[in-house]
Amino acid sequence: MSEHDDHAPARGAYGGGDGGTAVAELPPVAIQVTSEISIASQPPKKGEACTMVILGAGGDLTRRKLMPALFHLQCDGLLDPEFAILGVAREPLDDESFRRAMYEAVKASDEPNGAGKIDEDQWRQFAPRLGYVSGDLSDRRTYANLIGRLERVEQQREENDGRLFYLAIPPSIDSTVIRELSQSGVAPRVDTPEGRPWVRVIVEKPFGRSLDSARALNAVVERAFAEHQVYRIDHYLGKETVQNILVLRFANSIFEPVWNRSHVHHVQITAAETVGVEHRAGYYEEAGVVRDMFQNHLLQLLALTAMEPPVAFRADAVRDEKVKVLNAIRPIAPEEMHTYSVRGQYGPGTIDGERVVGYREEPRVNPQSQTPTYAALRLMIDNWRWQGVPFFLRSGKRMPRRVTEIAIRFRRPPTRMFSRGDGTLAPNVLAIRIQPDEGISLCFEIKVPGIGVRTTSAQMDFSYDRAFGGSKHSAYETLLLDAMVGDATLFTRRDGVEAAWRVVDPFIAAWESRPATHFPNYAAGTWGPEVANDFIARDGASWRTP
Ligand code: BG6
């Protein structure tokens, strides 16, 4: 790195004073939307006349995410009149009791339009779409019942576009269910994307738990289906601002010329959560933060930020570029791990004024657990665009604030014409806020009015909420609709999943082979272990406090 002055505290809207001739922090300048919204390149989507089969309809994901998303698509008039949903789970329910359970789930959900209220009229139209098949997913008879039910639904329909299967099941039974779906004839292979009726399968994360297991699962999938039938879902890709990364980069011409090693000092990608492990200790103890957040969400954000322009906004063109950049991430040797990563686990602390227990005291967590709940990785991308530019990725549970953002930190001006007495000038930062308060801000230096030249930082800020009243659809709504219309752009392809495991596997392997004697090493309610600050400081940078 050529710059060594980044230890100076950040200023202006990014907190901290400059120790010199500081002036009051300036409020961000709001950016307005100035033109008609263009939808010419992509007509609004509407779901097709298909049946969605949710395998694992008794689970959390169905109640908290899938059903609220489907209901809100209904409220927005985006479902085909003949669209139907079949839930499959072990509980002995009939259609009516399944509908009642889903009504309660939607009402309780905190997704957009949910939160304790429900549009009763819309629900009356939605409820008849729901049916239920009770059965054990490892039992062949379940699939025989399912096929009978599916055929009855399809016979009643004037047009039948296809079947959409959603695997909302524990990863341990992914392979079994995929085999059974295929062998029973419930979900036949369709050779071409144009084949009708279509059959698509959405597979939830985690997709495997290592490169080897992901490859093995991909092999099972490949024997059952053609790749175009498979939708590996990562809900981050359905978030509004995540999709906006591509628009920001490739629908504008001013950013791309500076989006490279000549102008960018480093990139920081943060996904901080205030929640702890919640009720998911069983899963999380086995997964840890790298499998849970980095292999999928954070690496997807990195790929969108760092990829080359695709030749078109088409599924394979976009995914080709994402895979290329993931494959360019420098492999790390086991003995170098400490220079490229920091791991952490939260101890007791305070969040929003409330005392919370440490990870090891959470229900069903091993009191000596070695599972990391925080990680920071330094990834280098060995290609022409990014050579020498570190990408710092960090994610943790029980941090002070829930925030996900990508910050592009630009290099300082080559000469120091202006300074603040202490020699510092705040660098330009372009921050893409994924959540909450989705938006984009650009921080730059300006002159303070008055005699003499003093500088301070100003911020141009675009907020989705102020401009559009927030995002209308949840990530799951976007992605379910995409799967219904056969648009796989926001889903991960086989090679993409494997490329991401290739990046994180060495970190996981190194950590699992060396016990973390220093755990817990950060208090709940803080921004992670102290050592993470020294880690990023080695590159002349410091973590942002978003
Ligand atoms: C999930 C992880 O994929 O993403 C959870 O399994 C995490 O541990 C969640 O809490 C975060 O998603 P979001 O949309 O709340 O940022």
Residue with the nearest Cα to atom 15 of ligand 1? Answer: 273
pLDDT of residue 395: 98
Nearest ligand 1 atom to the CA of 435 is 16
pLDDT of residue 16: 29
Q: In this structure, what is the dihedral angle of CA atoms 393, 397, 401, 407, given to the nearest 10 degrees?
A: 10
Is 438 in contact with 7 (CB distance < 8 Å)? Answer: no
Q: Please classify residue 414 by burial: count the beta carbons closer than 10 Å to its beta carbon, then call 0-12 exposed, 13-18 middle and 19+ buried.
A: exposed
Residue with the nearest Cα to atom 2 of ligand 1? Answer: 292
Angle made by CA atoms 307, 311, 313, in degrees to the nearest 5:
85
Q: In this structure, what is the dihedral angle of CA atoms 73, 76, 78, 80, given to the nearest 10 degrees?
A: 90
pLDDT > 90: what percent of the chain? 78
Most informative mutation of 61, 110, 235, 434 for ligand 1 (most atoms within 8 A of CB): 235
Bridge partners, 51 (sequence order): 84, 163
Most informative mutation of 297, 371, 437, 474 for ligand 1 (most atoms within 8 A of CB): 297
Nearest ligand 1 atom to the CA of 296 is 3
- Tell how far the Cα of 39 is from the centroid of ligand 1, in angstroms: 30
Cis peptide before 43 (omega within 30 of 0): no
Closest CA to 284 of 211, 343, 365: 365
Closest CA to 56 of 88, 85, 31, 24: 88
Spatial separation of the C-alpha atoms in residues 108 and 74, rounded to whole Å: 17
Closest CA to 530 of 519, 538, 522: 522
Nearest ligand 1 atom to the CA of 292 is 6
Most informative mutation of 65, 205, 236, 274 for ligand 1 (most atoms within 8 A of CB): 236
pLDDT of residue 37: 53
DSSP 3-state of 477: helix
- Tell how far the Cα of 274 is from the centroid of ligand 1, in angstroms: 11
Q: Mean pLDDT, to the nearest integer, of 366-385?
A: 98
DSSP state of 13: G
pLDDT of residue 422: 59
Q: Which two tokens stand for residue 507?
A: 């970190």
- Tell how far the Cα of 146 is from the centroid of ligand 1, in angstroms: 31
- Tell how far the Cα of 207 is from the centroid of ligand 1, in angstroms: 15
- Tell how far the Cα of 504 is from the centroid of ligand 1, in angstroms: 18
Nearest ligand 1 atom to the CA of 273 is 10
Q: Is 405 in the pocket of ligand 1 (CB under 6 A)?
A: no
Spatial separation of the C-alpha atoms in residues 320 and 327, rounded to whole Å: 11
pLDDT bucket at 44, cuts 50 / 70 / 90: low
Q: Write the DSSP string, 501-544.
A: HHHHHHHHHHHHHS--TT-S-EETTSSS-THHHHHHHTTT----
- Tell how far the Cα of 184 is from the centroid of ligand 1, in angstroms: 33
Nearest ligand 1 atom to the CA of 275 is 10
pLDDT of residue 4: 40
pLDDT of residue 452: 84
> How many Cβ atoms are within 10 Å of 174's Cβ, its own excluded?
21
The number of residues making up the chain comes to 546
pLDDT of residue 21: 41
Nearest ligand 1 atom to the CA of 284 is 8
pLDDT bucket at 10, cuts 50 / 70 / 90: very low
- Find where tokens 């710059």 sit: 3
Q: Is 204 in the pocket of ligand 1 (CB under 6 A)?
A: no
With a CB cutoff of 8 Å and minimum separation 6, the contacts of 155 are: none
With a CB cutoff of 8 Å and minimum separation 6, the contacts of 114 are: 68, 72, 106, 107, 108
Q: Mean pLDDT, to the nearest integer, of 12-25?
A: 36
pLDDT of residue 133: 98
Most informative mutation of 292, 362, 401 for ligand 1 (most atoms within 8 A of CB): 292
- Tell how far the Cα of 425 is from the centroid of ligand 1, in angstroms: 36
DSSP state of 64: I
pLDDT of residue 241: 87
92-101, 447-456, 475-484, 509-518: range with lowest mean pLDDT: 447-456
Long-range contacts of 254-260 (CB under 8 A, 24+ apart): 255/430, 256/309, 258/410, 259/385, 259/408, 260/385, 260/386
CA separation (Å) from 100 to 131, 210, 506? Answer: 11, 39, 46
Q: What is the pTM of this model?
A: 0.91
Closest CA to 192 of 223, 226, 162: 226
Q: Mean pLDDT, to the nearest integer, of 26-44?
A: 60
For residue 311, pLDDT over 60 is answered with yes
Is 126 in contact with 110 (CB distance < 8 Å)? Answer: no
Catalytic residues: 297
Is 426 in contact with 13 (CB distance < 8 Å)? Answer: no
Residue with the nearest Cα to atom 13 of ligand 1? Answer: 236
Residue with the nearest Cα to atom 4 of ligand 1? Answer: 293
Q: Which of 9-23, 118-132, 410-424 has the highest mean pLDDT?
A: 118-132
Is 242 in contact with 304 (CB distance < 8 Å)? Answer: yes
Q: Is 292 in the pocket of ligand 1 (CB under 6 A)?
A: yes
pLDDT of residue 421: 58
Is 3 in contact with 538 (CB distance < 8 Å)? Answer: no
Closest CA to 407 of 265, 235, 239: 265
- Tell how far the Cα of 401 is from the centroid of ligand 1, in angstroms: 14
Q: In this structure, what is the dihedral angle of CA atoms 121, 125, 126, 132, given to the nearest 10 degrees?
A: 130
Q: Is 273 in the pocket of ligand 1 (CB under 6 A)?
A: yes
